[in-house]
Amino acid sequence: MAAFKRISDMGDLSGKVALVRVDFNVPMSSGVVADDTRIRAAIPTIQALLAKDAKVVLMSHFGRPKGEVNPKMSLRPLVEPLEHALGEAVTFGEDTIGDPARKAVAGDTRVVLLENLRFHQGEEANDPAFAKALASLGDLYVNDAFSAAHRAHASTEGIAHILPSCAGETMAMELDALENALGSPQHPVVAIVGGAKVSSKLNVLTNLVEKVDHLIIGGGMANTFLFAKGIAIGASLAERDLADTAREIMVRADTHGCTIHLPTDGVATKEFAENAPHRITAVTDIREDEMILDVGPQTVDALNAVLGQAKTLVWNGPMGAFEMKPFDRATVALAVEAAKLTRAGSLLSVAGGGDTVSALSLAGVVGDFSHVSTAGGAFLEWMEGKVLPGIAALTQSDMRHE
């Protein structure tokens, strides 16, 4: 990953206005913030800038208003929880650009929150004029929204071409973790990739087999690979039409010295339901009317042994239908083992994606992993080896504003 500047690299910021792209696209319930995780994640960046005597102007999208003003998607309800998390007053800007924004920035408070970026079509269109209007409000640009870094929008990409730019504290922490996990990791590297469909993670699998030493495949995806190997998987969820693709990935893995680990036993049931009657059996002994909803204890023991030899772990996706007991056991068992190894200092563990975060929360180990990314699309595209526009713009900004 190319070098990027951090807040600490930006010199004297006294009297400067820092435009900070955050992701405040938070869940709401009856007009009130239901989960303030993303708000709290921005606090270290705000505090670091305030400590350098900068004024902080926060920019975010919320929902999909499609370039039109929609009062239901206003960021105004976030002012109070932001003030609570920050411990100081926050001014709300009635618009993202123009006089209302300038008036808010010119006020006495040290922190300003501007209205929803996506009320303007220029945001998602990455319109240069809109990016310029945003940039005119400040002296430097700080990107602290990794979860939006895969979007080439005016506030994530365009503005970085205009102002001196750097990564916020949370963004820098995320990029450091990702670099340590796949950019220049300590080997052996293990990747766990689960979830329902091979098709949704085809590029991830293709990229990972060239970078990791061990690839553990779980969830419905594992069934597709078992089917591709000629194993009868009964009524299990699988993309049988992707058998050739699965075989190609296995050949590619072999070529690059990557060992693919598939289940040897599974938890089989006849109905997709909580606490459905089930049995543990070899994957070669699945009946026609049965489906595999989790990997079995023999597989978990073998995979725990693989983790025990690893130095680095990248995890995206559950091993089974973890939302329903008892089909959460394998995911929880592996999460607990990875957490134990991380606490012991023998494993660097990086996990990301919505279902993965939910699974780690279920296991009670989110705080024990080296890094847990809440980013969905951005984390997945990073695992695919793609260049994220928001990150590329930051690294290129270094060169333009030297």
Question: What distance in Å separates the CA atoms of residue 289 and residue 251, rounded to the nearest whole number?
Answer: 31
220 included as an active-site residue: no
Pairing of strands 32-33, 55-59: unpaired
Contact 281, 266 (CB under 8 A): yes
Residue 103 a catalytic site member: no
* Beta strands, E only, 134-269: 140-143, 165-167, 189-193, 214-217, 259-261, 265-269
How far apart (Å, rounded) are the C-alpha atoms in residues 265 and 299? Answer: 6
Nearest partner of 112 among 179, 46, 200, 195, judged by Cα:
46
Which residue type does 337 have? Answer: E
Angle at 148 between CA 97 and CA 74, to 5 degrees: 45
Cβ(191)–Cβ(216) under 8 Å?
yes
Considering the candidates 197, 252, 311, 340, report the single residue annotated as catalytic: 197
Quote the tokens at residue 86. Answer: 């920050």
Q: How many residues does the chain have?
A: 402
Is 367 designated active site?
no
229 as an active site residue: the answer is no
Asked whether the CA dihedral 159, 164, 165, 169 is positive or negative, the reply is negative
Q: Can you tell me the distance from the alpha carbon of 196 to that of 317, in angstroms, rounded to the nearest whole number? A: 9
Catalytic residue chosen out of the listed positions 38, 151, 201, 211: 38
Catalytic residue among 354, 364, 386, 400: 354
SS3 label, residue 282? strand
With vertex at residue 206, the alpha carbon angle to CA 187 and CA 220, rounded to the nearest 5 degrees, is 100
Cα–Cα distance measured from residue 221 to residue 341, given in angstroms and rounded to the nearest whole number: 26
Catalytic residue among 67, 98, 234, 377: 377
Which residue type does 383 have?
A: M
The residue assigned the tokens 């980013």 is 375
CB atoms near residue 344 (< 10 Å): 8
Catalytic residues: 38, 197, 354, 377
